[in-house]
Amino acid sequence: MLLSLLALASGAPLAAAEVFNLANLNWTLHNQKGDISVPAHVPSHVHLDLKDANVITEPLLGANVTDYTQRWIVYEEWTYQADISSFIEQRSQGGKSGKTLLVFYGIDTVATITLAGHPVAWVNNQFQEYVYDVTDLLEDPAGNDTTLTVAFQSPFLYGQNVSRIRGVEPEIAPTFIWPDVRHLVRKASSDFGWDWGPGFVPVGIFKPAYLVTLSDETGNDASESDPASHPLFVAQSGGLFIEETSLEVSKVGQNPNVRPDQTADWQVNVTLAVRSTRGDDNPSLTVSVPELNINSGLLTLPPIPADTSAPTFVTASFSIPEGIPERWYPRSHGTPKLYNFSITLSVGGLPPASFTTRSGFRTAYLAQVPYTQEEVEEHGITPGDKWHFEINGKPIYAKGSNLIPFDAFYPRTTAEKVRWIMESALASGQNMVRIWGGAMYQPSDAVTGGYDFYSLCDELGILVWSELAFSDATYPVNDFFLETYEREVRQNVRRVKRHPSNVQWAGGNEIEPYLIIFNHTSGMWVPPKKFDNFYFLFEHFLHDIVLQEQSSVAYTACSTTKGVLSFEPYKLRMTNVEEGHIYGNDELYDYDSSRAFNYSTYPKARFVNEFGYHSMPSFYSWEEVLESPEDFSFNSTIVASRDHHSPPSGLLWPSFFAAQGQMELTLAVNRWLPTPSGPADSNHTFAQWCYSTQIFQALHLNSEIAFYRRGSGRGERNLGALMWMLNDVWQGATWSSIEYSGRWKVAHYALANIFAPVIAYPYWVPETESLEISVTSDLWAPADGAVELTWYDWSGQQLDVSQHAFSVGELNSTAVYAEEGLAYILPAGANASDVWAHLTLTAQSDGQTYTHEHSFVPVSLADANLVDPKVQLTHGENYTFTLSAQGGVSPWTWVDHPAGTVGYFVDAASGAPLNGFYLIPGYNRTIQFVQSAGLSTVAQPAPEDFVVRTLWDNTHSLDVSDWPAVAVEFSSQHADPFYSGWF
The Cβ of residue 92 has, within 10 Å, a number of other Cβ atoms equal to 13
Helix (H) or strand (E) run with residue 702 in it: helix 682-710
Residues 763, 597 contacting (CB under 8 angstroms):
no
Distance of CA 102 to the CA centre of its chain: 31
Instruction: Please give the single-letter amino acid code of residue 818.
Output: A
Q: Return d(Cα 190, Cα 200) in angstroms, integer.
A: 9
Sequence-ordered strand ranges (E) for 392-467: 394-396, 398-403, 432-435, 463-467
CB atoms closer than 10 angstroms to residue 739:
26
Of the residues 510, 512, 587, 624, only one is catalytic, namely 510
Please state the three-class secondary structure of 211-259 as a single string. Answer: EEEECCCCCCHHHHCCCECCHHHHHHHCCEEEEEEEEEEEECCCCCCCC
Instruction: State how far Cα 539 lies from the chain centre.
Output: 25
* DSSP at 94: T
Q: How would DSSP label each residue in 72-89?
A: HHHHS-EEEEEE-HHHHH
Q: Residues 16, 20, 26, 29: is their CA dihedral positive or negative?
A: positive
- Closest by CA to 185, choosing from 583, 603, 484, 417, is 484
The number of CA neighbours under 13 Å toward the Cβ of 379 is 20
Separation between Cα atoms, residue 456 and residue 502, nearest integer Å: 12
| Phi–psi pair at 240, nearest 5 degrees | -115, 130
Pairing of strands 432-435, 398-403: parallel
CA distance 123 to 103: 13
Query: Which H or E run includes 163?
Result: helix 155-163
Distance of CA 955 to the CA centre of its chain: 37
CA dihedral 445, 451, 453, 457 (to 10 degrees): 90
Q: Tell me how far apart the alpha carbons of residues 207 and 42 are, in angstroms, rounded to a whole number.
A: 8
Closest to 690 (Cα-Cα) out of 740, 749, 618, 631: 618
Q: In the beta sheet, which residues pair with residue 284? A: 300, 346
Contact between 91 and 138 under an 8 Å Cβ cutoff? The reply is yes
* CA atoms of 462 and 607, how far apart (whole Å): 18
Known catalytic residue at 18: no
- Other beta carbons within 10 angstroms of residue 392's beta carbon come to 18
Task: Identify the CA nearest to 610 among candidates 402, 386, 468.
Answer: 402
d(C-alpha 645, C-alpha 660), whole Å: 7
Whole-angstrom Cα distance, residue 634 to residue 662?
Answer: 8
Q: Which residues form the catalytic set?
A: 510
